Structure 1
Amino acid sequence: MSLPSSPADFSGLWIPLVTPLRGGQVDHGALAALCRRLAPQGIAGLVVCGSTGEAAALDETEQAAVLETVAAAAPAVPRIMGLSGQHLGRMLERVRRFGPDRVAGLLVSAPSYIRPSQAGLLAWFEAIADASAVPVLLYDIPYRTGVTIAPETLLALAAHPRIVAVKDCGGDAGKTRALIADGRLQVLAGEDAQVFATLAEGGAGAIAASAHLHTARWARMVALLREGRLAEARRLWQPLQPLVDALFAEPNPGPLKALLAQQGEMANELRAPMTCASDALARRLAGLLARVSVQ
């Protein structure tokens, strides 16, 4: 399978989209409107069907329809598709459906629940990358999958020509620094509270759910950090921190959807077993959002 003619670049700010729901079904009108709002605000691209998008609660037909809506609403904006599963054969079947006409890359996590060895993780990701026609981004998120991708495994995977980046939710600052120092994988901060630190250390970008809100401010901050303009970036970041903390005070994307619903962008609806944010948190979030607007 041929490789892209130019190196893949996943730097900058990526938004992991929520999936609007209404009456138990995907609200494609709200999703399209959300994409049209986000597209011109300086973002690098959109991540479809990640954990923020409640992908585990969507069947494959729904996931495919969500991707098509995003592509139609913001055709010029690059898209990363999230893929997860435990059955390698079925994962490979899905991977082969995505060509560069549909997505810029695939965001792939370790198989959850199974807790394979590091050798098993190496084989898992290499098989997926071998089958893919587009670049692969590793999703290191042990608190969801139950397994940590060791630094040595990540560095071994960096040798694969289609594995180009990592969404870093590993919670290990030493591993983050080692990956940045190695330089072969683009390191994207995946924990919103760690975006400033990761980019200040030399990370390439971020996949940040909080950036659904004050998106242009987030995009400007990321750009300033990548230019090494820390003092200017800090002035944008500090007012965002309380809002970011509150957005993850209850399971994501409940708090985020509560705020987007308050703004009239979608219904405040999630799929079980996910639940809506508490009323107390929703009120607190509204105040924090408004406070950022005046700083």
Structure 2
Amino acid sequence: MSNFSGIWIPLVTPFSADGAVDHAALRRLIGLYAEAGVAGVVALGTTGEPSSLDAAEQEAVLATTLDAAGGALPVIVGVSGNNARSMRERVLRLNALPLAGLLISAPYYVRPSQAGIADHFTMLADASEHPVVLYDIPARTGIRIELDTLLALAAHPRIQAIKDCAGSLDTTLSLILDGRLQVLAGDDVRIFDTVCMGGSGAIAASAHIWPERFVALDRALKAGRLDEGRALFHALVPLIRALTSESNPAPVKAALAAQGVISGDLRAPMTQASETLRARLQNMLAM
């Protein structure tokens, strides 16, 4: 059984000037986050722009991530889509890889019933030899995984955690009190209250920047050092707000570019962060 506690970073996919995946930059990022003490990384999540990568590029990004992580840093891989058959085939192929888990969202665009959602996750969890992390993000999928559905899915032995982006405090607390799923904040501004309520941590795109501070926040709260944790969180809120003010992952890539770690390039239809936000981030990171 995997432990999904702590701060996990949903990796961006860096691109070089010619538009190709920059695998060297991806390796550098993973090295930086390992040094910062993060719990693990997520490859090909929303922040990694998987919809803009073809199948071969996705496989290459995952291979680089696993190689750079070296077995010391756990790796989760994102699995999303609305073609149940092709998703099941992908899950079966992923069984051969040394993964900590699969991050699976509800089927997007088609808006299935709650029964359809439950059947979908059950089918994929049955096919997987890895733990499954549910990804509840209705803003992107168009459908929410309701609490009753989540509690029913929690009975599956391979469904072990949830990335919680539903924006419902009641759902978050109900899942934590139920105790069967490790609850990870998916909205970065919810890290403080989720961990204080007993959640396991976060999958936080904002933690690309100043990752050691996010790690310190998680550790302080879990150690009961509430004043220290509150101070750390309050200091991070301006960064979190800036990095979530435009469509992900443009702000994160702009901040990483400002630090000289990667270029800020994205693939269409995504565009770079606005000039106003890039200037704001430059000033923030210079402080």
TM range (shorter): over 0.9
CA contact (8 A) 1:204 1:226 kept: no
Question: What amino acid maps onto 2:218 in structure 1?
Answer: V
**Larger relative helix fraction:** 2
User: 1:101 Cα shift?
Assistant: 4.1
SS of alignment partner, residue 19 of structure 1: coil
The superposition leaves residues 213-248 of structure 1 with CA deviations (integer Å, 9 ceiling, x where unpaired) of: 111111011111122221111111111101110111
**Equivalent residue letter for 1:170:** A
The DSSP-based 3-state class of the residue aligned with 2:47 is coil
The answer for the alignment partner of 1:43 in structure 2 is: 38
CA contact (8 A) 1:42 1:220 kept: no
8 A Cα contact 2:136 2:163, kept in partner: yes
Q: How far apart are the structure 2 equivalents of 1:218 and 1:284?
A: 21
Q: What amino acid maps onto 1:62 in structure 2?
A: E
User: Deviation of residue 74 (structure 1)?
Assistant: 1.9
2:264 paired residue among 256, 263, 268: 268
1:117 aligns with 2:116: no
User: Is this contact kept in 1: 2:69–2:75, CA < 8 A?
Assistant: no
Q: SS where residue 217 of structure 2 aligns?
A: helix
In the alignment, is residue 61 of structure 1 matched against residue 56 of structure 2?
Answer: yes
**Mapped partners of 2:168, 2:55: distance in 1:** 32
AA of the residue aligned to 1:86: N
Give SS of 2:112's match: coil
Alignment-derived partner of residue 278 in structure 1: 274
Identity among equivalent pairs (%) = 54
Query: Is it true that 1:164 corresponds to 2:164 in the alignment?
Result: no
Amino acid at match of 2:80: S
Residue of structure 2 in register with 1:10 after alignment: 4
Task: Provide the C-alpha distance between the structure 2 equivalents of 1:140 and 1:59, rounded to a whole number of angstroms.
Answer: 24
Q: Distance in 2 between matches of 1:37 and 1:238?
A: 24
TM-score by length of 1: 0.95
- For residues 1-295 of structure 1, the aligned pairs below 5 Å read 7-22=1-16, 23-75=18-70, 76-99=72-95, 101-291=97-287
SS at match of 1:15: strand
Q: Which AA in structure 1 matches 2:56?
A: T
- 1:4 matched residue in structure 2: none
Q: Distance in 2 between matches of 1:93 and 1:223?
A: 38
Residue pair 2:163, 2:186 contacting (<8 A) in 1 also: yes
Q: Is the 8 A contact 2:10 2:41 kept in 1?
A: yes
Cα root mean square deviation, aligned: 1.0
TM-score by length of 2: 0.97
Q: CA deviation at 1:48?
A: 0.4
Q: Which amino acid aligns with 1:19?
A: T
Structure 2 Cα separation of the partners of residues 31 and 171 of structure 1: 30
Following TM superposition, where does structure 1 have runs of at least 4 consecutive aligned residues deviating by more than 4 angstroms? none
Deviation by residue 1:151-210 (Cα, 9 ceiling, x = unmatched): 000000000000000000001110000000000000000011111111111101100011
Question: Shift in Å at residue 108 of structure 1?
Answer: 0.1
Rounded to whole Å, the distance in 2 between the matches of 1:289 and 1:194 is 22
Counterpart secondary structure, 1:238: helix
**Structure 1: how far apart are the matches of 2:119 and 2:91?**
15
Shift of 1:100: 6.7
2:100–2:131 Cα contact (<8 Å) kept? yes
In structure 2, list runs of 5 or more residues that go unmatched: none
